[in-house]
Amino acid sequence: MAILKAIFVDFDGTLVDSELANAHAYRLALQEVGISCSLQTLESLIIGNHWSQFLPKIVGAGYSAELGQDIATRKKKQYSTFYHSINVNIPLVKLLTNLSPNISLAVVSNASQDSINDILAAKELGQLFKFVIGSEDFKKGKPDPEPYVLAMKKLNILPDECLAIEDSEAGFQSATAAGIKILKVQIS
């Protein structure tokens, strides 16, 4: 049995409860380009997914990669106004804080590094993590195993030497495909 050397933590919905803040920011960004979408629909589509995975479903036939990027850029400008509504998973942070002297911790997410790092700084959590893997770091996001494979390569470790903490089906599939055991969490 291998010794646990690292814990990889998903961000949205796992470390922080940011889905509603994300949905609000995307709703405003979509409205700016003349597209209406309910918060409920947005929340159900964004969980565990990168914008390139859910925006085509919302926009429909008029979707293009350029429009998707425009909406994502607009969302990014709106997002910080909703940071106050993002809640930290305190029990998880306490657990990670207790483990951090002996185990490397990293965030592995489909979210952008800028958003993750901004929220980590705003919530005073940045010092807890050795590094952040975000959407800029990989070609295929979760559910593909690439984000977790990249995290393992950064630490030069094997799948049985790490644990993924996840909340979404896309995250479960990604970690499982990378050969990593999963701890499923839910922020209540």
Sorted by sequence, the CB contacts under 8 Å of residue 70 that are 6+ apart come out as 33
Supply the CATH classification number for the domain 6-17+86-184: 3.40.50.1000
Structure tokens at 45: 């589509």
Whole-number Cα distances in Å, 72 to 1, 67, 143, 181: 43, 9, 20, 32
- Whether residue 188 is predicted with pLDDT greater than 70 in this model: the reply is no
* Distance from the Cα of residue 32 to its chain's centroid: 24
Instruction: Count Cβ atoms within 10 A of the Cβ of residue 80 and give its class: 0-12 exposed, 13-18 middle, 19 or more buried.
Output: middle
Q: What is the per-residue pLDDT across 69-118, written as a single tens digit (0 to 9) for each? A: 999 999 999 999 999 999 999 999 999 999 999 999 999 999 889 989 99
DSSP letter assigned to residue 36: -
pLDDT at 97: 97
Which one is predicted more confidently, 187 or 36? 36
Confidence class for position 186, pLDDT limits 50, 70, 90: confident
Helix (H, G, I), strand (E, B) or coil at 65: helix
Confidence class for position 1, pLDDT limits 50, 70, 90: low
Q: Where in the chain is the domain with CATH 3.40.50.1000?
A: 6-17+86-184
Mean pLDDT score of the chain, rounded to an integer?
93
Helix (H, G, I), strand (E, B) or coil at 119: helix
Q: Where in the chain is the domain with CATH 1.10.150?
A: 19-84
What kind and span of H or E run contains 9? strand 6-9
Report the top-level CATH class of 19-84: mainly alpha
Q: What is the per-residue pLDDT across 23-66, written as a single tens digit (0 to 9) for each? A: 999 999 999 999 999 999 998 888 877 888 899 999 999 999 99
pLDDT at 173: 96
